[in-house]
């Protein structure tokens, strides 16, 4: 869980996934499914998506990467790359350390 203070003013921004981030999730599911099983792959993706959802409350979690981008490590194996914009958090990519490409 991010360690920054929650936003207390206005409505929380919505979290959206770019087409590239959705493709990353699908590829990650397939990778884990091949190495384990559907239940484990689904549970891992559920945890990543819940973590992404917390960014609506903790906009500035993770590290500043410049050009408006931030990154948040997830369970030591993945990095969530996102851009906090007015009214939304755009998940740009989800990079996984176990990928071969």
Domain membership of residue 1 (yes or no) is no
Instruction: Please state the rounded mean pLDDT for residues 64-82.
Output: 95
Q: Considering the domain boundaries, does residue 82 fall inside one?
A: yes
* 57 contacts 12 by C-beta, under 8 angstroms: yes
What is the distance between the alpha carbons of residues 43 and 51, in angstroms, rounded to a whole number? 12
Average pLDDT of 54-79?
93
Q: 19-52 pLDDT, tens per residue?
A: 999 999 999 999 999 999 999 999 999 999 999 9
3 inside domain: no
pLDDT band at 10 (very low <50, low <70, confident <90, very high): low
Q: Is residue 68 part of a domain?
A: yes
Domain that holds residue 57: 14-96
Per-residue buried b or exposed e for 71-80, using 16+ beta carbons within 10 Å of the residue's own CB: bbebeeebbb
Q: Is residue 83 part of a domain?
A: yes
**CATH assignment at residue 62:** 3.30.2310.20
> Is 2 contained in some domain?
no
Q: Is the pTM of this model over 0.85?
A: no
Whether residue 4 lies inside any domain: the answer is no
- The predicted model gives 11-26 an average pLDDT of 95
88 within a domain of the structure (yes/no): yes
């Amino acid at each position: 869980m991010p360690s920054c203070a929650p936003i207390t003013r206005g409505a929380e921004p919505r979290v959206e996934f770019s087409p590239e981030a959705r493709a990353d999730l699908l590829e990650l599911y397939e990778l884990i499914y091949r190495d384990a099983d559907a239940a484990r792959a689904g549970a891992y993706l559920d945890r990543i998506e819940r973590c992404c959802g917390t960014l609506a409350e903790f906009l500035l979690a993770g590290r500043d990467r410049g050009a408006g981008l931030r990154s948040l490590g997830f369970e030591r194996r993945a990095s969530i790359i996102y851009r906090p914009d007015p009214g939304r958090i755009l998940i740009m990519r989800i990079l996984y350390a176990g990928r071969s490409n």
